[in-house]
Structure 1
């Protein structure tokens, strides 16, 4: 497997920082998988919630956000690796408040569906 161009920039960081960055990446991947699993669970087992089109739309949205999050996890991991290699500060991300807001919105929609259903 060839090394990407960015791995030849700067110098190799301390392996502890590289491993910590990898653990963070894996945590984001677990979150993406949890969103996907939540979408599948909502679609397959939420027969008491209605209207059905809202449940299906929410399930599809959860799956899409999970897929997008997995791509963002890689780009974030890569940006952190580059920053560590070149001695620059770690890049800022608005991902955390966006993800928290999405989870809040999802919980609110499900709560409303439970009350109405």
Structure 2
């Protein structure tokens, strides 16, 4: 019977650290979203604060789901000795964060005028 080769623990642990970084990012977005809605009453108008807060909270959900999915994909690739998964979700997430940052910058500049 052939022995199953286990992935190197260093790669497994690195993948877990990356997953935990996604979870920290998710918690940061969640805290930012709650703060936007409840702690910065002078930022723009009520509907803009609520919209940005909701978007940040949705990014928190997305970060946790993307991080979990990515971790599972990498784990399976390591176990099978397969190539690493494509980074499509990472690109989408980066674009979404960039769009939110751009919108926030515009709202901030308009509010400062």
Q: TM-score, normalised by structure 2?
A: 0.84
Structure 1 residue runs without a partner (length 5+)? 1-9
Any runs of at least 4 consecutive aligned residues in structure 1 with deviations exceeding 3 A, and if so which?
Answer: none
Report what 2:64 is aligned to. Answer: 70
Match of 1:61 among 55, 58, 72: 55
Q: Deviation of residue 43 (structure 1)? A: 1.1
Deviations 1:44-97 (A, max 9, x none): 222122221121011111111211221221111111111111110010122332
Q: Is residue 47 of structure 2 the alignment partner of residue 50 of structure 1? A: no
Report what 2:85 is aligned to. Answer: 91
In 1, Cα distance between the equivalents of 2:45 and 2:31?
21
SS in 2 for 1:70: helix
Q: Which stretch of the first structure deviates more once superposed, 77-86 or 102-111?
A: 102-111
Q: Is residue 111 of structure 2 the alignment partner of residue 111 of structure 1? A: no
Deviations 1:24-58 (A, max 9, x none): 11111111111111111111222122221121011
In 2, Cα distance between the equivalents of 1:57 and 1:43?
9
Structure 2 residue runs without a partner (length 5+)? none
Q: Deviation of residue 109 (structure 1)? A: 1.9
